């Protein structure tokens, strides 16, 4: 871990550099030390959790990859990914300077020493092998049923995107899925499996949307202690996800559209008629790579019009879309950027509002007329 040494004397800076160079902890000691500085044990199991630095849900993973208490937050403070070692994590969470922290950990501070409490540390989670992950994902996909007209997955999408004219997608399936939380199975729910593919066609992961078994809505899943859990989650990652997407439709006339979420891109399809792919979130949207061999020349980017992040002064969804547009234009693609009219909305919101307003005043039996672009096939 680097330090600038600001505010330190030359002697202190030299001591700090020397101490950092020789500082090592066992995996169990790292967890115990992190816990002693206020980082809960359930953040240190190797699973995706809320971030102790920025508080964002399902984006932080502690993996101790290099034996230095290593961690990553995939979208820290609503911006770019952030990663570091255990010392950096403590300084951010406990708001303590690195020099003071190292004096405490090495017993060198005469008055502000904090003992490393001997908590019972959870065993570091063993990383699953690629063969195991591949078998799990392929098994889930094969056990699920291809999406069909009128099934629960289609009824859910038509509820969220009223009037949806897109047919079943080969990249979506309906399965009965286990929901795991804190190492325990809470139950099984029907759910949409979305196949996330990399630019070269390899499988990245399966994204899951857990559904209510009776009505076309997301499932309400509650933990034993009353926490309302997220009904949308990625499963295990087989290959790094940067560049990929859920390929919901085939390109038409060399054009494709990309956006952040399943309902969002279907709303964009209804607004424009452009065939769409789902990148899952704004970070992956910004990293999207156009696959070769499909004849794609024009990319439409459907941005979420998020509220301004006070820390960055930017709308995160718009910033991600603009970053992608800049890169794709430099690569020679024609790029068309789309943004909803109202701040705080996405294209699913915009389409639903327009559909409901139009059908409120339309004569009985009259259908809302979409853009004249022909519908894409799934």
pLDDT in tens, 188-205: 999 999 999 999 999 999
Q: Please enumerate in sequence order all residues whose Cβ is within 8 A of that of 300, keeping only pairs 6 or more positions apart, or say none.
A: 255, 256, 257, 258, 268, 272, 274, 335, 336, 337, 338
List, in sequence order, every beta strand (DSSP E) within the chain: 60-62, 71-73, 82-84, 145-146, 172-181, 184-197, 203-210, 221-222, 228-229, 232-234, 245-246, 255-259, 276-278, 298-302, 334-338
Whether the predicted model's global pTM rises above the 0.75 cut: no
pLDDT, one tens digit per residue, over 255-288 is: 999 999 999 999 999 999 999 999 999 999 999 9
Query: Looking at residue 114, what is its pLDDT?
Result: 39
What would the mean pLDDT of 292-296 be, rounded to a whole number?
96
């Amino acid at each position: 871990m680097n330090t600038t040494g600001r505010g330190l004397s030359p002697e202190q800076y030299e001591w700090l550099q020397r101490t950092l160079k020789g500082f090592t902890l066992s995996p169990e000691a790292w967890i115990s030390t992190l816990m002693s500085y206020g980082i809960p044990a359930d953040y240190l199991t190797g699973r995706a959790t809320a971030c102790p630095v920025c508080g964002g849900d399902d984006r932080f993973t502690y993996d101790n990859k290099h034996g230095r208490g290593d961690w990553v937050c995939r979208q820290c403070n609503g911006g770019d990914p952030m990663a570091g070692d255990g010392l950096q994590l403590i300084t951010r969470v406990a708001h303590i300077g690195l020099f003071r922290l190292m004096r405490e950990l090495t017993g060198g501070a005469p008055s502000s020493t904090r003992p490393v409490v001997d908590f019972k540390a959870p065993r570091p989670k063993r990383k699953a092998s690629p063969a195991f992950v591949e078998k799990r994902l392929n098994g889930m996909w094969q056990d699920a049923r291809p999406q069909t007209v009128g099934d629960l997955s289609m009824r859910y999408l038509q509820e969220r995107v009223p009037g949806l004219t897109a047919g079943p997608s080969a990249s979506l399936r309906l399965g009965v899925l286990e929901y795991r939380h804190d190492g325990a199975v809470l139950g099984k729910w029907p759910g949409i499996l979305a196949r996330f593919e990399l630019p070269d066609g390899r499988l990245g992961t399966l994204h899951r949307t857990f559904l209510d078994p009776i009505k076309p809505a997301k499932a309400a899943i509650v933990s034993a202690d009353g926490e309302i859990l997220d009904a949308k989650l990625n499963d295990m990652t087989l290959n790094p996800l940067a560049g990929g997407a859920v390929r919901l439709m085939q390109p038409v006339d060399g054009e494709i559209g990309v956006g952040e979420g399943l309902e969002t891109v279907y709303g964009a399809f209804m607004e424009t008629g452009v065939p769409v792919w789902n990148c899952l979130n704004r970070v992956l949207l910004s990293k999207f790579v156009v696959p070769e061999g499909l004849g794609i020349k024009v990319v439409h980017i459907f941005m979420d019009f998020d509220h301004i992040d006070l820390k960055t002064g930017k709308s995160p969804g718009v910033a991600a879309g603009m970053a992608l547009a800049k890169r794709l234009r430099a690569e020679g693609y024609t790029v068309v950027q789309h943004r909803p009219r109202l701040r705080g909305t996405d294209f699913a919101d915009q389409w639903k509002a327009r559909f409901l307003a139009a059908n409120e005043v339309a004569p009985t039996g009259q259908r809302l007329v979409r853009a004249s672009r022909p519908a894409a096939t799934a």
